[in-house]
Amino acid sequence: MTRTIGVDIGGTRTRVAAVATGRILARRAFQTRGIEDVETAIRGILVEAGWGKPTAIGVGAPAPLDMRSGRILSCPNLPGWNNVEVREDLQRAFGCPVYLANDATCAAIGELTLGVRSRDFVYITWSTGIGGGIVAGGQVVWGATGGAGEIGHIVLQPGGPPCACGKNGCLEVLAGGASLARLGSEALGTPLSARDLVVHAQRENPVAGKLVLDACRAFGQGIAIVWEILEPGLIVLGGGLTGSWAFLGPQVLAAAQGMVRERPRVELTQLGDDAGLLGAASLSAYTPAEWHSP
Amino acid sequence: MTRTIGVDIGGTRTRVAAVATGRILARRAFQTRGIEDVETAIRGILVEAGWGKPTAIGVGAPAPLDMRSGRILSCPNLPGWNNVEVREDLQRAFGCPVYLANDATCAAIGELTLGVRSRDFVYITWSTGIGGGIVAGGQVVWGATGGAGEIGHIVLQPGGPPCACGKNGCLEVLAGGASLARLGSEALGTPLSARDLVVHAQRENPVAGKLVLDACRAFGQGIAIVWEILEPGLIVLGGGLTGSWAFLGPQVLAAAQGMVRERPRVELTQLGDDAGLLGAASLSAYTPAEWHSP
């Protein structure tokens, strides 16, 4: 029996779980602060699960990272995680191999092993940011250095609004939750979350409705582009904004439909928030051998 | 020794070769007309190569096709190839397994086996049309039904000019050779090929220069999108328009650079026109087992 620890570092919450053959035996969730809190949580769940030492630890993070060295790079938006040697620190603390990957790729691995279990699909998270993880022919598409799946940073509007990544007109700045919250707050003159803005749109506020429609159109265009390039057969969606899919979905799919050769098949994740956590726990089995923890 | 026949059906020319362990032993090229001419050419090169029967035949075509049944679908632009049962016909004629795939994916296989030999790259053809073939982690990315790589049909301008595929604002209608020829002929009031238009642009005709620049910007945006989604590490370019890369390349790369996290590495194919032909000859080794010729 493999006894692995999955860690899902989110923009606001971090979650840690002890996972044995796909089942979560113990879990913790807490505000994202830094690696010390993750170490404390792992120690706690190791005791709770009755494990001495895990087989492996897998960590998913939304940050720019170097999979090969297991390091999170410059990451101003993730409190306490700027330039952290995740692999080195956790290996020293727990004496087992440690793997680090993009959180959306982790979610795709979670779907591959315990969710849709399809051989070809793309997982897309529509949340504060927008990210993706790709599975093709049953294999994870990592990219040359582990950087594949940056669907949020495809440029749809050259010279468009500035994105946090430094470019302009990325899908994420056109349709991501952080952007929607900012645009909504400015347009309606009161601090709003993306979900608040969606609620205003549902109540037929025309300003909110237009902002949400524009975001849905950009998101639909992104889905169509992914479909043409990868023909994945299935797109699995997760992330906070998919909680409003009954309202947003028809707008997204109407936009996508005219931009793709066939009607893309889109499903919401059935793993709730756990796709990334479960996938992180399986990272040791999916990380290419040449990037393995020494 | 494998003795395979590669067939590359192009919009104007069809090429057929006898290939043994990566070497072309005999070849024919002729105007694209239909499957009878291909059969005749195969018979000719079998005699020339001194082979009784080939091990396998692989066919690459720029058309919408069904890899699993080995059939070219509706294809008004490919003279003589509308709804042709390629696998059935050639299997009956030559008594060996027959494989059919998208021509750009064939070119990617040619690069994988005999060209760049990289584990991660995308091959893009910039010619009359625009197509792509994807290799990730040393594996061909086929898509759920063999339709991956349709880079020419990502929509960059929703509601933009109509593309031959029936959608609007696809990369191919913004930057493909057929489109450039049409736009150039209209703008300059005389029938021009895409290469003619490029020559006018090189001679500083401002109208031609603007049309070419717009196409380069769209092509650069497409390269950037592919890079963000796949992080291939390398993009290999082929196709007629890359013959003018010294003039077009700087415009393409200048556009791409602002739309991608890192400077994309772009190289021209070293296989000349043979990437697709050589890849078609290797199709039997790369086609997923479940789509194999019965």
Domain boundaries, chain A: 3-106+273-291, 117-269
Look at residues A72, A132, A138 and name the one whose alpha carbon lies nearest to residue A275: A132
What is the spatial distance between Cα B172 and Cα B129, in angstroms, rounded to a whole number? 6
Cα four-point dihedral sign B244, B249, B250, B255: positive
Strands across the sheet containing B56-61:
B23-31, B13-20, B3-9, B56-61, B98-102
Average pLDDT over residues B52-75: 90
Identify the band that residue B106 occupies on the pLDDT scale cut at 50, 70 and 90: very high
pLDDT digits (tens, 9 = 90+) for B272-288: 999 999 999 999 999 99
pLDDT digits (tens, 9 = 90+) for B199-249: 999 999 999 999 999 999 999 999 999 999 999 999 999 999 999 999 999
Inter-chain residue contact A144 with B231, CB threshold 8 Å:
yes
Question: Residue B246 contacts by C-beta under 8 Å, 6 or more apart in sequence?
Answer: none
Q: Which residues of B touch A213 (CB under 8 A)?
A: none
The H or E element that residue B66 is part of is: strand B65-66
Determine the CATH number of domain A117-269: 3.30.420.40
Using CA atoms, how far residue B181 sits from B128, B191, B200, in Å, is: 9, 8, 12
Counting one residue from chain A and one from chain B, the pairs whose CB atoms sit within 8 A come to 140
What is the spatial distance between Cα B267 and Cα B233, in angstroms, rounded to a whole number? 11
Identify the band that residue A56 occupies on the pLDDT scale cut at 50, 70 and 90: very high
Average pLDDT over residues B17-37: 95
Q: What is the pTM of this model?
A: 0.96
Residue B292, pLDDT score: 79
Q: Which residues of B touch A223 (CB under 8 A)?
A: none
What is the spatial distance between Cα A171 and Cα B173, in angstroms, rounded to a whole number? 22
Look at residues A59, A62, A100 and name the one whose alpha carbon lies nearest to residue A291: A100
Residue of A231, A235, A266 to mutate when probing chain B, most B C-beta within 10 A: A231
ipTM of the shown complex: 0.96
Helix runs in chain B, H state only: 35-49, 86-94, 103-114, 171-175, 177-188, 194-202, 206-230, 245-257, 275-281, 283-286
CA angle (B68, B71, B75) in 5-degree steps: 130
Residue A293, pLDDT score: 64
Superfamily of domain B116-269: ATPase, nucleotide binding domain (3.30.420.40)
What is the spatial distance between Cα B285 and Cα B281, in angstroms, rounded to a whole number? 9
* Neighbour count for residue A240 (Cβ, 10 Å): 15
CA distance to partner chain B, nearest, from residue A91 (Å)? 27
Identify the band that residue B267 occupies on the pLDDT scale cut at 50, 70 and 90: very high
| CATH architecture label of A3-106+273-291 | 2-Layer Sandwich (3.30)
Average pLDDT over residues A17-45: 95
A8 phi and psi angles, rounded to 5 deg: -120, 105
B104, B125 in Cβ contact below 8 A? Answer: yes
Inter-chain residue contact A233 with B145, CB threshold 8 Å:
yes
Q: Which residues of A touch B232 (CB under 8 A)?
A: 143-144
Q: Nearest by CB to B150, from A141, A143, A228: name it.
A: A228
pLDDT digits (tens, 9 = 90+) for B73-95: 877 678 789 899 999 999 999 99
Same fold across A3-106+273-291 and A117-269:
yes
Residue B78, pLDDT score: 82
Three-class DSSP category at B23: strand
| Residue with more model confidence, A200 or A164 | A200
B170, B163 in Cβ contact below 8 A? Answer: yes
Inter-chain residue contact A158 with B217, CB threshold 8 Å:
yes
Look at residues B69, B150, B124 and name the one whose alpha carbon lies nearest to residue A227: B150
Q: What rounded mean pLDDT belongs to chain B?
A: 95
Q: Which residues of A touch B173 (CB under 8 A)?
A: none
CA distance to partner chain B, nearest, from residue A39 (Å)? 32
CATH topology of domain B3-102+273-291: Nucleotidyltransferase; domain 5 (3.30.420)
- The DSSP letter of residue B272 is G
**Least CA distance to B151: which residue of chain A?**
A229
Q: Which residues of B touch A255 (CB under 8 A)?
A: 158
Inter-chain residue contact A155 with B261, CB threshold 8 Å:
no
Residue B146, pLDDT score: 92
Q: Among residues of chain A, what percentage have pLDDT more than 90?
A: 87
Cβ-based interface (< 8 Å): residues of B facing A: 119-120, 132, 134, 136-137, 139, 141-151, 153-156, 158, 165, 167-168, 217, 221, 224-226, 228-234, 255, 258-261, 288
Residue A79, pLDDT score: 79
Inter-chain residue contact B288 with A137, CB threshold 8 Å:
yes
Q: Among residues of chain A, what percentage have pLDDT more than 70?
A: 99
Average pLDDT over residues A222-230: 98
pLDDT digits (tens, 9 = 90+) for A232-256: 999 999 999 999 999 999 999 999 9
DSSP per-residue string spanning A268-288: E-SSGGGHHHHHHHTHHHHS-
CA distance to partner chain B, nearest, from residue A135 (Å)? 9
